[in-house]
Amino acid sequence: RDYHQGQQDKAEWGQGIVATFESGYTEGLIGFGVDGIAQYGVRLDGGRGKSGAGGIDFFKQEDDGRAKSDLAKLGATAKMRISNTVLSYG
C-alpha cells in the first residue's frame, strides 16, 4: 500500500512455513488414504497503527490495536480411490 496525502502506510511483515503430508492408498479395489497440511506464520513487523490494511489482514488485530504475533492452521483430507477415480473430502 502506498498512501499519499499524509495517510500512514499500512504494512505487515511475516514469515511462514507450510508442511504437507500425502499418504498412499490401502491395497484392494477400493483404497483409502489421508492428506494433511499445517501452516504457521510469525509476525515480524506491523505493530500498532501499521497492521490491518483493509482486506489484507494476515495478522488480525487485537482489541488494543496490535496485530497478533502468530497464526496457525491445520487441515486434513480423507480420500478414497476406486480404480482410477479419486474422491476426496476435507
With 0.85 as the threshold, say if the pTM is over it: no
Q: What is the mean pLDDT of the chain?
A: 81
Give the three-class secondary structure for 82. Answer: strand
pLDDT at 40 over 90: yes
Please state the rounded mean pLDDT for residues 27-56.
Answer: 79
pLDDT confidence of residue 63: 74
Side chain identity at residue 90, one-letter code: G
pLDDT above 70: residue 73: yes
* pLDDT class of 14 with cuts at 50, 70, 90: confident
- DSSP designation for 58: S
**62, 18, 76, 68 alpha-carbon torsion, rounded to 10°:** 0
Pick 56 or 60 by higher pLDDT. 60
